[in-house]
Amino acid sequence: MSPGAHSAEEMMTVAAARLLWNGCVCFVGIGLPSAVANLARLLHAPQIVLIYESGTIGACPDVLPLSIGDGELAQTATAVVPLPEIFSYWLQAGRVDVGFLGAAQIDRYGNLNSTVIGPYGAPKTRLPGAGGAPEIASNARQTFVVLRQSPRSFVDKLDFRTSMGFGHGRGERASSGARGAGPQAVITDFGLLRPDAHSQELQLVACYENVDPADAVKATGWPLQVADSLEVIRAPDPEELRVLRELHAGRSRGEPR
């Protein structure tokens, strides 16, 4: 790939990283969320606090970890604490600013499915399951979801609700007792979705350069609403791509740490 060109995944990673801020306390998962958070740390948010489910707080990995048990995380962390402390002291106490989540399915109100595809009793596919996602979705001050957009993943009705977003909208989340504000950003390979202030239904508010919003609508399993004033998300600049590719290259080469 030429230095100026970028993949859809790189665009998603950069767009999500730009949403994080210096000093943000971020609960991170392995994979794309980890790449997002570490890219932000290396570019514009050096004081970001990364928390991984293995109990590492303030990890500053030089390369992307293979799993939450990767020694790179513990070696570079400010502290390593028991898992119950991560959930009770940090997450449930409201000390996590952003929780990054992925899923197999998302609906118009930001509810997520990471449990099964098909009927629960006889599923077509059994997925990894809930893990800490329900607690993150409930207690993080806000959640960000990173997910490729297609009618199979952006569905009118979830096969199973693993983690609550806004329920059926219009205040159901608030009445449920969930502490956090819910999914405030959904980053896809087309652009950015945010909840409507009144209905809480996700709507397209920004697209990447050279992306037709009609294509995002076609890739959604419900009638996706498009904001009246649609922002354009600029393409990654050379420095963003350089740092991101070095993160990935270090892991692929297995460089010593």
- Angle, helices 238-253/32-43, rounded to nearest 10 degrees: 120
CA 257 distance to own-chain centroid: 27
Tokens matching residue 190: 């087309």
The radius of gyration of the chain's CA atoms, rounded to the nearest angstrom, is: 18
- Closest of 92, 85, 33 to residue 64, by C-alpha: 33
Alpha-carbon span 137 to 165, nearest angstrom: 7
Annotated catalytic residues are 53
> What is the identity of the amino acid at 219?
A
Please state the φ and ψ torsions of residue 16, each to the nearest 5 degrees: -70, -40
Query: Measured in whole angstroms, how far is the alpha carbon of residue 68 from the centre of its chain?
Result: 16
